[in-house]
């Protein structure tokens, strides 16, 4: 679910507890769904097979902020052209968990009002992707530069911004060759991370990874916590506050945790908040790993932290001056927070048992179990996004985000399968994950086209948008009925034999890069 750390940090997210009972009776669903009308749009690609959403390799709360309040969606999509760097991919562009990468050239896209725009690359580069968009339309991402990284022997990539369709090179850190802009705000400030040229023993990158802040043409290394050597910035709000994670020391911990990249031991890792030149350690619940998954404009940070002994982790919310608050679980061992709105509503996932987890909404100190889509949908669910109206989106189905997973919308105590707004001719056979929902009620997510196995959603999926509309609008679909596309994909037979959190940790990692567990694309 959400814990999404890729290049460097791995994470997950899970589940929820008791609250108000949900109604799943057919008549209840029918009445509720009649209140909703959406137009479903397959955003498509640039001629290749795949469109992806930042963090589409993750499950749970930290979907990247790739949908803004104007209904603009950004991320990346394949072209029909063969990728000259296939077999030796850039490490800062997905999919990068291991070679060979993407066989097709992929470009960052911006979708608005039915138009899919190719944002292009830096001169000489083949591939690019977008990780975030601000409310006023600034887009953050990364692009190959056309040069090779002499230290890693892979294509070099620089952090970039797109402004009014034009690309701006933010450059590397301290003469390095790799960087990515992960977040951007309305003030034109960006945050992300890159590699410098200082030798490092903790990653396969061979040099240190450092968080950065960029504004007015200058890139600034944010430093690290304690005696740590590596740091990553993931979020920046409109106040210029930055949230990320940093090593706090250089002592490698023998225990592998949810934050461990590719199952490699790392030093203690804590979440941080950076503001006005100062990095504040947000602490942990006694474990050696903490990870931020989202931040709001009030400077509140949510995520997950290991408990003492690193055998389990809990969702947290941090509000200045701290300490972080434990949100608890839904009766199981683990939980993780994925998103927070400016009203302090938090969503994520939490274990309800050793084999299942549920989406949750945490509000005013109470964790509400959002349940699942009911009989036949699978035992697990996770929430990824929430807007100011407390509409929640996520996925419900099997515990590996596989065959039976369906995107959902939850509001006012009701959970709705977004597939009821699908229709013949939409270009999609199954809507699998809901990622973001803005205050206009617009939703983005990931689905699969006809003929594609739902298990391949991360390698052959398409991005979709659901736009609220009036029932008489062209393409507008109401709640179910004869126009709904039937879903018949069977659940995987071994779903319940795997501990959900551990399975997700091995299957997905935080922040934009696929884990090697997914294997190469066919």
pLDDT at 12: 28
**What is the mean pLDDT of the segment spanning 146-150?**
96
What average pLDDT score do residues 452-471 get? 91
194-198, 389-393, 458-462: least confident range: 458-462
Please give the pLDDT value at position 56: 40
Q: Is residue 214 situated within a structural domain?
A: yes
For residue 19, being part of any structural domain is answered with: no
Task: Judge whether residue 60 has pLDDT over 50.
Answer: no
**Mean pLDDT score, 244-268:** 84
Residue 367, sorted as left (phi over 0), alpha (psi -120 to 50) or beta, turns out to be: beta
Please state the domain count of the chain: 1
| pLDDT cut 90: percent of the chain above it | 70
Which residues, 6 or more positions from 96, have their beta carbon under 8 angstroms from its beta carbon? Answer: 6, 7, 89, 90, 513, 514
What mean pLDDT do residues 467-488 have? 67
CA dist 360 and 351 (Å) reads 10
The answer, yes or no, to whether residue 202 has pLDDT greater than 60, is: yes
Contact 132, 74 (CB under 8 A): yes
Residue 11 lies in a domain: no
Residue 448: burial class (beta carbons within 10 Å; 0-12, 13-18, 19+): buried
Assess whether pLDDT exceeds 80 at residue 49: yes
How far apart are alpha carbons 110 and 123 in whole angstroms?
19
Q: Is the dihedral of CA 213, 215, 219, 220 positive or negative?
A: negative
Q: Summarize the confidence of residues 5-15 as an average pLDDT.
A: 29
Q: In the structure, what pLDDT confidence band is assigned to residue 398 with cuts at 50, 70 and 90?
A: confident
| Nearest Cα residue to 511 out of 273, 209, 147 | 209
Are the CB atoms for 291 and 324 separated by under 8 Å?
A: no
As a whole number, the mean pLDDT across the chain is: 83
User: What confidence score (pLDDT) does residue 157 get?
Assistant: 97
pTM: 0.86
Quote the tokens at residue 270. Answer: 């804590």
Q: pLDDT at position 494, please?
A: 29
Q: Is 20 inside a domain boundary?
A: no
Q: For 65, phi and psi rounded to 5 degrees?
A: -75, 75
Given a contact cutoff of 8 angstroms between Cβ atoms, the answer to whether 520 and 98 are in contact is yes
User: pLDDT-derived band of residue 97, with 50, 70 and 90 as boundaries?
Assistant: low
- Give the mean model confidence (pLDDT) for residues 395-417: 90
> Any idea what the CATH number is for the domain that residue 137 is in?
2.130.10.150
Query: Mean pLDDT lowest for which of 17-21, 68-72, 277-281, 406-410?
Result: 17-21
Distance CA 314, CA 325 (A): 10
Q: Is the pLDDT of residue 491 over 80?
A: no
Q: What is the 3-state secondary structure (H, E, C) of 361-417?
A: EEECCEEEEEECCCCCCCCEEEEEEECCCCCEEEEEECCCCCCCCEEEEEECCEEEE
Give percent of the chain above pLDDT 70.
82
- 10 in a domain, yes or no? no
Looking at residue 32, its pLDDT comes to 47
User: Does some domain include residue 12?
Assistant: no
Average pLDDT over residues 198-202: 89
Band the pLDDT of 196: cuts 50, 70, 90. very high
> Would 53 be classed as within a structural domain?
yes
Rounded alpha-carbon distances, angstroms, from residue 40 to 37, 116, 426, 477, 484: 10, 15, 7, 8, 11
Cis, peptide link before residue 434, omega less than 30° from 0: no
Whole-number pLDDT of residue 260: 67
Least confident span in 265-274, 296-305, 463-472, 497-506 = 497-506
Tokens of 454: 């739902």
For residue 111 the two structure tokens come to 């979708």
Token pair 């190959």 is at which residue? Answer: 144
Q: Is residue 14 part of a domain?
A: no
Question: pLDDT grade, residue 358 (50/70/90)?
Answer: very high
Is the pLDDT confidence value at 86 over 80? Answer: yes
Residue 357's domain spans which residues? Answer: 26-518
> What was the pLDDT predicted at 415?
96
Residue 271 has what pLDDT? 96
The pLDDT, as a whole number, for residue 383 is 95
């Amino acid at each position: 679910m959400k814990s999404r750390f890729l290049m460097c940090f791995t994470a997950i997210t899970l589940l929820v507890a008791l609250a108000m009972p949900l109604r799943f009776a057919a008549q209840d669903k029918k009445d509720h769904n009649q209140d909703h009308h959406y137009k479903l749009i397959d955003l498509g690609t640039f001629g290749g097979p795949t469109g992806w959403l930042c963090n589409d390799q993750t499950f749970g709360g930290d979907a990247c902020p790739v949908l803004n309040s104007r209904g603009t969606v950004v991320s990346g999509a394949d072209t029909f052209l063969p990728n000259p760097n296939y077999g030796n991919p850039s490490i800062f562009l997905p999919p990068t968990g291991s070679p060979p990468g993407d066989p097709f050239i992929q470009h960052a896209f911006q979708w608005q009002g039915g138009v899919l725009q190719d944002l292009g690359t830096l001169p000489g580069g083949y591939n690019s992707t977008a990780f975030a968009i601000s409310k006023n339309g600034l887009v953050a991402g990364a692009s190959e530069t056309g040069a090779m990284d002499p230290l890693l022997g892979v294509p070099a990539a620089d952090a970039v911004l797109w402004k009014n369709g034009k690309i701006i090179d933010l450059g590397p850190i301290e003469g390095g060759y790799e960087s990515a802009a992960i977040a951007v705000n309305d003030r034109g400030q960006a945050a992300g991370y890159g590699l410098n040229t200082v030798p490092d023993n903790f990653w396969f990158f061979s040099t240190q990874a450092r968080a950065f802040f960029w504004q007015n043409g200058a890139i600034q290394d944010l430093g690290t916590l304690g005696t740590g050597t590596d740091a990553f910035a993931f979020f920046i709000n409109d106040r210029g506050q930055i949230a990320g994670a940093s090593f706090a020391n250089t002592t490698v911990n023998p225990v592998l945790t949810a934050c461990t990249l590719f199952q490699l031991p790392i030093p203690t890792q804590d979440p941080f908040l950076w503001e006005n030149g100062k990095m504040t350690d947000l602490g942990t619940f006694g474990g050696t790993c903490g990870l931020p998954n989202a931040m709001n404009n009030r400077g509140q940070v949510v995520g997950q932290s290991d408990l003492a002994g690193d055998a389990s982790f809990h969702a947290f919310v941090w509000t200045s001056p701290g300490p972080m608050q434990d949100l608890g679980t839904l009766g199981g061992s683990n939980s993780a927070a994925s998103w927070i709105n400016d009203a302090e509503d938090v969503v994520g996932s939490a274990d309800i048992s050793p084999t299942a987890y549920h989406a949750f909404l945490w509000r005013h100190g109470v964790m509400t179990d959002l349940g699942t889509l009911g009989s036949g949908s699978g035992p697990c669910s996770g929430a990824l996004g929430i807007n100011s109206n407390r509409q929640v989106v996520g996925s419900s189905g099997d515990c590996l985000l596989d065959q039976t997973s369906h995107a959902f919308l939850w509001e006012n105590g009701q959970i709705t399968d977004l597939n009821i707004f699908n229709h013949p001719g939409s270009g999609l056979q199954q809507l699998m994950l809901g990622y973001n929902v803005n205050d206009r009620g617009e939703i983005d997510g990931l689905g699969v086209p006809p003929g594609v196995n739902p298990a391949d959603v991360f390698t052959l999926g398409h991005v979709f948008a659901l736009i609220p509309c009036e029932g008489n609008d062209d393409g507008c679909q109401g709640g179910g009925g004869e126009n709904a596309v039937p879903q018949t994909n069977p659940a995987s037979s071994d779903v319940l034999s795997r501990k959900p959190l551990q399975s997700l940790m091995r299957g997905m990692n935080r922040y934009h890069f696929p884990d090697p567990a997914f294997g190469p694309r066919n």
